[in-house]
A and B are shown apart, each in its own frame.
Chain A
């Protein structure tokens, strides 16, 4: 960021060839891993993970929807579990491993089976809720290989455009693909 604010991601590169005394390296902070990269948050500990991702790291895949944990647009995976990132304060993130929708596909661009299923079922209308839907589905399929309709409905992520039918089909399609891959 233009201001060297307390929320700058670390590591901060050392100041080369400065004539004045370089600032003391910031050692206090919250260390976490986001999409396999290490970061240190040195700003407000109460900042929700959502705004850390979006404003500080510029990872905008997780969307803002309600800041009450109701809509699920901001869903990310923390230590293997789906979390509404608007409700997760940074002070609870120390040592955690966060995966956002940007970190879901393989490094070579190979899509996660859930992402591919979303495309195959054309589950996208406006698309705004879908990164959160995808992450919630990944979480569900991590827990349950054969989710029932009731399991899927329990996710509870909102889709304002009403693509629920296609989302259900996409989750079932992804469940099938993931089983095939294991076999």
Chain B
């Protein structure tokens, strides 16, 4: 009633009969296989045993999605990869979000669904590598069962829309075959995956799998979930990084109608950022959110800064510039080709520019929240949106001492992630509150910790403030022969067990263009000190430095009187592969040139010289994808108006072009809105922004009516999609603004700086 197919030395496909005539398929590791799966579990509790596919006798196909979906469209795409491979009927596919897949191993826990991390565009490439094979095995088993039923060789059968179809037209639904398929002996080798020309779902546009549930209000985000009657906790947190409590009226809070308890939350010392609560806090635990909010108000908590005070952005900038000028400073040199110093001495011309980017916040639509049920003697259940379920486990395991069979982590669809949910501080807070001593009658009641928007903006893991100084040496033919870039920022990796000479890894990409195109190239990184928590932000090691490098290339083009498109194409030169020591490489210069040309054509780049509006262009290589933005900006009395935005992407095969276009549109708008308006600022040692009034995310003005996306047809293996529309958007905008206004903006947010310079 079950079988296995070896995929590699350590990994294999497994399948089994579920209850009520179902066929269940999963991917396992050698270690996990040593523990037999109890067949009784393969019914309603199927998600606990790790299958990705369950063909039910009624014809529905349940597909388990292992990677969190925080709006990237992962659930839809992963399900379609599997459904296409097995020729399932998409209209009868039901997607289930899998929680953390974990089993007890020998000593170390086994993670049955692999990385389960979302945030670096890995879900699709990983699924391409293994989930297709799960689909292929399902199809193979079902067709074998059909062959026996029909008395024809399996080779003469094909799958189509949830049916096994014979050459003579006879067909049997997968549901009718599921039970028999589970009894088929395993093939000796993994069944081959489909040829591309047989795809029916991959490459076709598909709406989001949850769309109906979303627009009817039926979809439950973590903030909407209940376990019994959860209590609600709202926290007053210290606004000064490194600060502490000055005073609070706990009695007044406790007297508020509906408040059950007031408990202190003290961050555990010695933990890496994001692995423990971020700030000292007082939690007000109440019957409902309103009572908790009133209780927090009644606390009238006051806080004081610690011994060190967080510097303002201006102070950080001064420190960065001083480091750049200090010959005795010792940066991490992350790439060093040729000799930039000699190139500079020999140069016909040298140019230098400095770019400054502010702190920015994630401001996810759904604020951080976590529902927890703790039975201190037996188990803990966590319900939370996260981009890193395994990290959530690490935090919960450390705090409770529970093992893999006592920790249940459910990961519903999340209301935005952008990197914020790679951190687990909000989980640690919730566990601490569940563990805290409270009145007996509520001690073990489930509790939800809810962050308000003010909490979210004041206690984010911000994208680091950054300063870049770029220096180029040009020869007599105006070609770039030397490129030296220095970057300074408070590193995301500081305090996360990263050696000092590796702190750059979260901040920049050593082989990002124009590395490889310039003979003498050097990239130096200088870490800055800051108390503010910081984190990954929508591909920030690509986003932040690309604003500087793609703006600077534009400046060089203008300095030598060249058309910036031609200048870039000339830099890329002949079609060739550039080594790239990171995910996705090597860089194919022809694919990069292609997206630039397509973006320029779409915007009618021939107008570049004479148009009254400014046209700007920029490109980036991100996680194996090639992206270019071309933007048209009109000058206005008091600023600018963005007329058109074109985004061209070559991601290899697009699994779901409609979903990919949405990701490109959304990331482009976010990149532009952030560059135009957004900055988190620090004054008197604390963050100043509270609420969307101070931090106007997703502005609709001066945005264009739509982002025009072009997806390059390709048969290359698919790369990820979720952050790739970010890096080149802001520099394309700044480059267009320069043409429209003759003002070069080197400091963000752009609108503020433009007003200052004009």
Contacts and interface: CB of A to CB of B under 8 A. Distances in A.
Interface stretch (A17-25, A50-58, A77-85): A50-58
A63 B416 CA distance: 13
Nearest to A73: B365
A48 B290 contact: yes
Contact of A128 (B216, B290, B365): B365
A47 B742 CA distance: 53
B335 interface: no
Given A7-B287, A47-B290, A162-B666, A129 B365 contact: yes
A125 B703 CA distance: 19
Interface stretch (B6-14, B204-212, B595-603): B204-212
A66 B453 contact: yes
A153 interface: yes
Interface in B665-697: 665-670, 673, 691-693, 697
A131 B365 contact: no
A149 B703 CA distance: 13
B215 A68 contact: no
A109 to B, nearest CB: 9
Given A127-B413, A153-B700, A166-B662, A115 B215 contact: yes
A153 B367 CA distance: 24
A124 B217 contact: no
Contacts of A63: 221, 223-224, 365-366, 415
Nearest to B205: A122
Contacts of B698: 158-160, 162, 164
A164 B217 contact: no
A15 interface: no
What class of interface size applies to chain B in its complex with A? 35 or more
B232 interface: yes
Contacts of B257: 6, 44
Contact of B207 (A65, A122, A134): A122
B224 A5 contact: no
Interface string A133-166: 0100000000000000100010010111111111
A122 B288 contact: no
A124 B210 contact: yes
A60 interface: yes
Contacts of B703: 164
B414 interface: yes
A101 B217 CA distance: 6
Contacts of A122: 205, 207-208, 211, 658-659, 662
Question: Among the interface residues B208, B232, B288, B365, which one has the most CB atoms of the partner chain A within 10 A?
Answer: B365
Contacts of A62: 217
Contacts of A43: 258
B364 interface: yes
A113 to B, nearest CB: 11
B342 to A, nearest CB: 46
Interface in A33-77: 43-44, 46-48, 51, 54-56, 58-68, 70-71, 73
Contacts of B416: 126, 128, 160-161
A5 to B, nearest CB: 6
Contacts of B663: 125
A126 B365 contact: yes
B666 A168 contact: no
A10 interface: no
A111 to B, nearest CB: 7
Contact of B71 (A46, A126, A164): A126
Nearest to A168: B705
B244 interface: no
Contact of A125 (B221, B293, B666): B666
Interface in B404-458: 413-417, 450, 452-453
B560 interface: no
B592 interface: no
A118 B662 CA distance: 13
A66 B691 contact: yes
Given A124-B214, A127-B219, A54 B289 contact: yes
Contacts of A59: 217
Given A111-B216, A125-B666, 11 more contacts: A55-B232, A59-B217, A61-B216, A118-B215, A124-B211, A126-B413, A128-B71, A129-B415, A158-B365, A160-B670, A168-B705
5 contacts: A102-B216, A122-B662, A125-B666, A127-B208, A128-B366
